[in-house]
Structure 1
Amino acid sequence: MRRVVITGAGTVNALGLDVPSTMEAMREGRCGISELNFRDVDRLSIKIGGQIHDWNTENRFNRQQIALYDRFTQFALTAAKEAIEQSGLVFNGDLSAKSGVILGTSGGGLTTQDDNYRMVYEEGKNRVHPFVVPKLMNNASCSHVSMEYNLKGPSFTVATACASSNHAMGQAFNMVRCGMATAMVTGGSESMLCFGGVKAWEGLRVMSKDACRPFSLNRNGMVQGEGAAVFVFEDYEHAKARGADILCEVIGFAMTSDASDIVMPSKQGAARAILGAITDAKLNRDEVGYINAHGTGTAANDKTECAAVADVLGHHADKVMISSTKSMHGHLIGGTGAVELLACIMALKDGVIAPTINYEEPDPECALDVVPNTARDAKVDVVLSNAFAFGGLNAVIALRKAA
């Protein structure tokens, strides 16, 4: 079994259009959630989200590319460019054949789908663009990244709702670890902030109209976000031999299914995933210093997640810092675990724990150290990143500080 390290990171989200600006915003506890701005937003009862407002498509892509790239693909390509450039890898020859792409998304090209439904059903048009299907398909971003960077190895898309990115990164980790791949480009991307995307979520009645307040007693729901984060997972010996800058090491992964309810989370399912990642990483429970929580800001998720952490870590749970950066960038659904992994890298590499902002009132059912409102300087060597999805699908990743 080979060691796996992260040698590149890239992102686009409501906090920043690259990794440095995103981490700066996390350190400052800045909120990227704002008023939504798109067609027919006045027909929605939910009018806030982690929307990327300063995205200029025409400055980033040419007309031919725009015809092929949905917004979620644009985000993925931009994040992948930053990550691959940081890694210093050039994919050709054997490395090209032994490297691939695994990305997570839940909705795929939802903006394209929304626009074209309007054209056909509302405007009465009988023709759509010939590239609608390749633009909206869930694997579009994965395929375009593979073509852009000559990645000819194992490549596919994972769609497991809010756990999509963690599942994608877990599969990439295992492929490098077992020797199937030398390097994998992995992460997730999502762009659901369009009329149809928000309207659908409104129907679930789990959305907040004013703010995302994970773990706070007065929390009243989640807030959607959009964006992408992409990483280069690389064989440690390969990275070491070429003198790569190693951001951190990926050391464990586990996934479970609640097999109980399509929307209500299960403490047992979450706990088995957390314990599984710790076991896979060959860790003692008291080695975990920080957990990036799923922390959606809903009543059900937050208390269930805290109970699962307490069950797994026992007395050590009181000493572990656990925060939800969704309070800042919103819930990116299929892309959320990837953006949240940036907070884990920041904790390990820079010794800064991202806060849970908007925290106002302690909840007895969330009685852990949730790093309220202000980032914290702390030395941690091991972190976990949780993702628990609708459908009862759970995925937890364990990382260690680079040696």
Structure 2
Amino acid sequence: MASIAGSCSSGLIFRTNESGNKGASLLQYNGLRPVESKQVASSGSKTNGFISTSAAKCRRIKAVASPNFSAPKREKDPKKRIVITGMGLVSVFGNEIDTFYNKLLEGESGITPIDRFDASTFSVRFAGQIRDFSSKGYIDGKNDRRLDDCWRYCLVAGRRALDDASLGPEVLETMDRSRIGVLVGSGMGGLTAFSKGVEALIQKGFKKITPFFIPYSITNMGSALLAIDTGLMGPNYSISTACATANYCFYAAANHIRREEADIMVVGGTEAAVMATGVGGFIACRALSQRNDEPQKASRPWDQERDGFVIGEGSGVLIMESLEHAMKRGANIIAEYLGGAITCDAHHMTDPRSDGLGVSSCITKSLEDAGVSPEEVNYVNAHATSTLAGDLAEVNAIKKVFKETSELKMNGTKSMIGHGLGAAGGLEAIATIKAITTGWLHPTINQYNLEPEVTIDTVPNVKKKHEVNVAISNSFGFGGHNSVVVFSPFRP
């Protein structure tokens, strides 16, 4: 058990009760970078845990690791079993699922210099920027010109997922669309629309603000526009939990189906933050790699020379459906969603807990929800952003849950496409499902000098053949939001 102060300070004292220890280690983070380690005199207290160095009155909370459990049997009720019947995406590698995954298998980097705006004066001048995006056939020209890219990506990925599930407009017209919901989240929403609205206000006054300023800025608009476009009248809203957003959406959508509130959910995440405000904001957080001379080698999860994440963008959407409904309509079943979980670090706005407790408990709860034991899991699509603190915190958490890791593989999709923020979990869920269906794991590229603490196979630099039994996909976000979802091959 550990006792910690609320998120009141980025300087934390960790007190141990090891024999002979007369001090405590002061861990400080500058943005996402650990910058200092000091010894602080002990107060003499015998209490273990974290205490704030600057706010003695902060509310104290207790975080308790989840106890060991005997995994329950997997869900058998076809009304509550959830399968994946369609996938759609917009990515730095285009809009085709197979092209996207083949590029990942080849170890190709999609990171390039930014040319969407003048980044010449920025300390970071590269990103996973989408180029040559076309919404032809999905969005009419007038709306296409008005929409923020965040919602353009969402509409195209969502419609492509529906098409992949054989749920095109003609089919949907024959179905009860009040039983089909949409839940596509975004961490930042229509950031370009918001920035342009503020710019108009400052430069020209409030009368020059477009009437689309508010609607195209707010984070719920992806789900709303997709529903308006397709006539889907089931549960509809958005979740915004930073970079954990898409996994939160999968978890919530699954519960709508399990509660029989919907038969089908169109679910995922979307983001378009590769613009001046987005890049500048993350530079201010000191979260981004500054490897401007070699951008394709900038995202290097678990490598000792990593220096931050690479911002990306796009959208990833799944069609989640009850097994009963999918079987009745003769749908092609791609994989099965077994379960998921969400937790909070309750620690700091941007830094993860170094002990990984919030993450390890989330993984444990997700396996419990899925009805599988840790021994059944043999693949982890890791969050693996390439930050100094985050990468090792995640590995520590994984090693806590999976005691035997000789057969476990984990990789980092962000090493090639960058960090898609609210869309990351959606794109990585698709990568996870493609690993299940193809039997091939994509590499984690830019692995030159692995951290010694990383004793799990990270599939370095070259793809590997691997038959996935059960896979988990991790996503974590600013604010300490943790989310884990569990997928497996579909077995009737």
TM-score by length of structure 1 reads 0.96
SS of the aligned residue for 1:364 comes to coil
CA distance in 2, matches of 1:402, 1:26: 23
Matched, 1:273 2:362: yes
CA distance in 2, matches of 1:216, 1:231: 31
The 5 A counterparts of 1:38-49 are: 38-49=116-127
Aligned residue for 2:427?
339
SS of the aligned residue for 1:341 comes to helix
CA positional deviation for 1:57 = 5.6
Of 172, 175, 185, 2:266 maps to: 185
Aligned residue for 2:91?
13
The 5 A counterparts of 1:68-87 are: 68-87=146-165
CA distance in 1, matches of 2:431, 2:311: 18
SS of the aligned residue for 2:427 comes to helix
CA positional deviation for 1:368 = 1.5
Task: Answer yes or no: is the 8 Å Cα contact 2:287–2:387 preserved in 1.
Answer: yes
Aligned residue for 1:306?
395
Distance 1:92 1:195, change over 3 A: same
CA positional deviation for 1:132 = 1.5
The 5 A counterparts of 1:103-182 are: 103-122=184-203, 126-182=207-263
Of 356, 373, 376, 1:284 maps to: 373
- How many residues are paired up? 402
CA distance in 2, matches of 1:39, 1:52: 13
Task: Answer yes or no: is the 8 Å Cα contact 2:138–2:155 preserved in 1.
Answer: no
Task: Answer yes or no: is the 8 Å Cα contact 1:15–1:30 preserved in 2.
Answer: no
1:232 partner letter: I
CA distance in 2, matches of 1:56, 1:119: 27
Distance 1:136 1:347, change over 3 A: same
CA positional deviation for 1:399 = 0.6
Matched, 1:322 2:410: yes
Matched, 1:372 2:460: yes
The 5 A counterparts of 1:254-273 are: 254-266=341-353, 267-273=356-362
2:213 partner letter: V
Task: Answer yes or no: is the 8 Å Cα contact 1:52–1:226 preserved in 2.
Answer: yes
Task: Answer yes or no: is the 8 Å Cα contact 1:114–1:194 preserved in 2.
Answer: no
Of 195, 202, 213, 2:276 maps to: 195
What are the superposed Cα offsets for residues 159-214 of structure 1, whole Å, 9 maximum, x if unpaired?
00010000011111111122111000000100001001100000111210221000
Distance 1:243 1:137, change over 3 A: same
SS of the aligned residue for 1:17 comes to coil
CA distance in 2, matches of 1:204, 1:230: 28
CA positional deviation for 1:68 = 4.4
CA distance in 2, matches of 1:107, 1:15: 22
CA positional deviation for 1:36 = 0.7
CA distance in 2, matches of 1:190, 1:303: 26
2:370 partner letter: A
Task: Answer yes or no: is the 8 Å Cα contact 1:67–1:131 preserved in 2.
Answer: no
Distance 1:68 1:96, change over 3 A: farther
1:142 partner letter: S
Of 66, 83, 98, 2:179 maps to: 98
The 5 A counterparts of 1:376-395 are: 376-395=464-483
CA distance in 2, matches of 1:220, 1:333: 18
CA distance in 2, matches of 1:365, 1:291: 17
SS of the aligned residue for 1:175 comes to helix
The 5 A counterparts of 1:190-269 are: 190-210=271-291, 211-266=298-353, 267-269=356-358
CA distance in 2, matches of 1:167, 1:218: 31
SS of the aligned residue for 1:38 comes to coil
- Choose between structure 1 and 2: higher helix proportion: 1
Aligned residue for 2:451?
363
Of 367, 376, 385, 1:296 maps to: 385
What are the superposed Cα offsets for residues 318-370 of structure 1, whole Å, 9 maximum, x if unpaired?
32101110001110111100000111111111101121111111111222111
SS of the aligned residue for 1:30 comes to coil
Distance 1:213 1:119, change over 3 A: same
Task: Answer yes or no: is the 8 Å Cα contact 1:309–1:317 preserved in 2.
Answer: no
CA distance in 2, matches of 1:22, 1:119: 37
Gaps of 5+ in 1: none
* RMSD value, Cα: 1.6
SS of the aligned residue for 2:337 comes to strand
Structure with larger Rg: 2
Task: Answer yes or no: is the 8 Å Cα contact 2:246–2:426 preserved in 1.
Answer: yes
CA distance in 1, matches of 2:117, 2:348: 34
CA distance in 1, matches of 2:329, 2:136: 36
Aligned residue for 2:40?
none
What are the superposed Cα offsets for residues 39-90 of structure 1, whole Å, 9 maximum, x if unpaired?
2312311111100011246786434313542101100111111110111123
1:382 partner letter: V
CA distance in 2, matches of 1:122, 1:39: 19
> Relative CO higher for 1 or 2, CA cutoff 8 Å, sep ≥ 6?
1
